[in-house]
Amino acid sequence: MHIGELAEKTGLSLRTIRHYDEVGLLKASARTAGGFRLYLPEDFTRLMLIRRMKPLGFTLDEMTGLLAVIDTRQAGQADADSLETRRQLDAFIAETIARRQKLEDQLGMADEFLSLLRAQ
């Protein structure tokens, strides 16, 4: 699919997708003879993972790190590497749980604030 279709499917802007390409977070799988980016369904899946990390406040470097761990695990590296990448993945899971809890706490405070406003 072309970048416009990918943007439409993910709800991300063309600019954001191009930026992710420039920083190496999501490289286009191919290019047309005219140089237009082409993406595969796997690229869509990867971009949706990135999109879900964004509201949790993960930096581009952290996203790159997680994607590298996922790529390594999917490639089926040697046992020693598997143990290390499992440890890294577990660390990302723990961090995600903590960030989710923080968002949940903030949502609770927003609900309390709304209650106070509505009581006025």
Query: How far is 89 from 53, CA to CA, in rounded Å?
Result: 14
Please report the pLDDT score of residue 44 as a whole number: 96
DSSP secondary structure, 84-117, as one string: HHHHHHHHHHHHHHHHHHHHHHHHHHHHHHHHHH
Please report the pLDDT score of residue 80 as a whole number: 60
Residue 30 has φ and ψ, to the nearest 5°, of -160, 175
Q: Which two tokens stand for residue 72?
A: 């390594």
Q: Could you tell me the fold of the domain covering 1-52? A: Multidrug-efflux Transporter Regulator; Chain: A; Domain 2 (1.10.1660)
Question: Which regions of the chain are under pLDDT 50?
Answer: none
Sketch the domain layout of the chain as residue ranges. 1-52, 57-120
Please report the pLDDT score of residue 79 as a whole number: 61
Please report the pLDDT score of residue 18 as a whole number: 95
- Strands annotated E in the chain: 30-31, 37-38
* Model pTM above 0.85: no
